[in-house]
Amino acid sequence: MRPFREYVLDAIALIEPLELNLIAPAHGPILRHAPRDYVHRYRELATPRLFNEARSEKTLVVFYISAYGNTRRMAESLAAGAESIGGVRVSLYDLECSEAGIFTDLVEEADGLAFGSPTINADAVKPIWDLLSSLTSVNVKGKLGAAFGSYGWSGEAVRLIEDRLRGLKLRVPVEGLRIKLVPDAGELEACRDLGEQLARHLTGRVEHREIDMAALA
């Protein structure tokens, strides 16, 4: 399925060479003043911003929602950590007041998706579920996924999001991060580290960790 914006760009390519006096859309007002400005604006809106010219960078989109700022602090540290690894571009989105539908193109073009939610009533919060539900119409198979969030006592949200991501066939190579209430400096460092690990997975520069078999036993 082609992204909608590609159809818009095809239509613009047809219109651009024509002499243009007015635009009469199927519904909405007839645009008589500076119609070409609208065409330019549509080209701008339909051009993906996540891509750099050569598409050499990987992209990680971090979505979060946060009532008291705890998950937001985690998201910001995670994003800073991911950005510190060369070759990864990070975008951070607060889902408060946003409709899930507007992120479809963004999700489609991203290489990695991280979701941050506090645990409220033993669950992740609705804007996160709305966004995850909207992903069923997008090809997300094989993208990298991750979850994180602040909690008070039980902290179910992160595991539930991870399960959903796996159900959508994303790969979830790094265990999600839960932090109790307000993250302290060390915990924010752990968020940063999660961002770095995700970025390394995206760029294929995964650090090999030594497992102490004695400790496992």
Ligand X SMILES: Cc1cc2nc3c(=O)[nH]c(=O)nc-3n(C[C@H](O)[C@H](O)[C@H](O)COP(=O)(O)O)c2cc1C
Q: By the criterion CB under 6 A, which residues form the site for ligand X? A: 66-71, 118-122, 150-155, 181
Closer residue to ligand X (CB): 59 or 70: 70
Distance CA 39, CA 212 (A): 61
Q: Work out how close the CB of 163 gets to ligand X at its nearest, in angstroms, rounded to a whole number.
A: 17
Instruction: Please give the residue whose beta carbon sits closest to ligand X in the complex.
Output: 152
Closer residue to ligand X (CB): 143 or 178: 178
Q: Work out how close the CB of 71 gets to ligand X at its nearest, in angstroms, rounded to a whole number.
A: 3
Closer residue to ligand X (CB): 5 or 159: 159
Closer residue to ligand X (CB): 46 or 179: 179
Q: Work out how close the CB of 95 gets to ligand X at its nearest, in angstroms, rounded to a whole number.
A: 12
Distance CA 188, CA 58 (A): 23
**Please, which residues bridge with residue 113 across strands?**
61, 145
Q: Work out how close the CB of 116 gets to ligand X at its nearest, in angstroms, rounded to a whole number.
A: 8
Closer residue to ligand X (CB): 87 or 152: 152
Q: Work out how close the CB of 153 gets to ligand X at its nearest, in angstroms, rounded to a whole number.
A: 4
Nearest residue to 57 via CA among 191, 153, 199? 199
Distance CA 78, CA 137 (A): 27
